[in-house]
Amino acid sequence: MRIIFLPDTWTIGLCFLVWTVFQVGAALVCLALPNRFFNPEKFIFRAHCFEQEGRIYEHYFRVKHWKYLLPDGGAVWKKRGFRKRKIDDFSKEYLNQFLIESARGELSHWLAILPFWAFGFFTPPIVPWLMLIYALLINIPCIMAQRYNRPRVKHILNLLIKKGNKESDG
């Protein structure tokens, strides 16, 4: 329900400002949370049966062909950021951190979608619905990329663990 009435130019400017605050705020909240919160085995982050270990994102959405176009938010946060565009190291520690940061990135994009309704306070009634569409278009590709990558990285990590176990047994 619209309760704030501003001139159109102010309303448009406020929309840009509010989205920036929401996007950055979601990222900062997730950066502030400890790593244990982003356990890739938790229900919200693990691959579910319908995702077929991430293959659904490649088969139906062709993620592999466009994910390189997505921005890497880890590059923005110099000290706390973790780049996920490519795997730089195949150590168990790095891959475990990659899984954690992938979950962190996914949650930040889910959180960035939620406040679309706030635009209803200062825009015409159709605008919050347009903002929901915008939020989904901007954030869902990033979420899909994380959910596509995580099972693949987990598979690599499991292979390393099995290899390490065989070497210690043999």
pLDDT in the model for residue 75: 65
pLDDT in the model for residue 164: 77
**Domains of the chain by residue range:** 8-33+48-169
Question: CA quadruple 69, 70, 76, 82: dihedral positive or negative?
Answer: negative
The encoded tokens of residue 78 equal 């110099």
| CA distance linking residue 168 with residue 170, whole number of Å | 6
pLDDT in the model for residue 92: 93
pLDDT in the model for residue 170: 58
pLDDT in the model for residue 169: 63
pLDDT by residue, tens only, the chain of 170 residues:
788 888 889 989 999 999 999 999 999 999 999 999 999 999 999 999 999 999 999 999 999 999 999 988 766 665 676 778 778 888 999 999 999 999 999 999 999 999 999 999 989 999 999 999 999 999 999 999 999 999 999 999 999 988 877 776 65
pLDDT in the model for residue 71: 85
- Assessment of whether the complete model's pTM goes beyond 0.75: yes
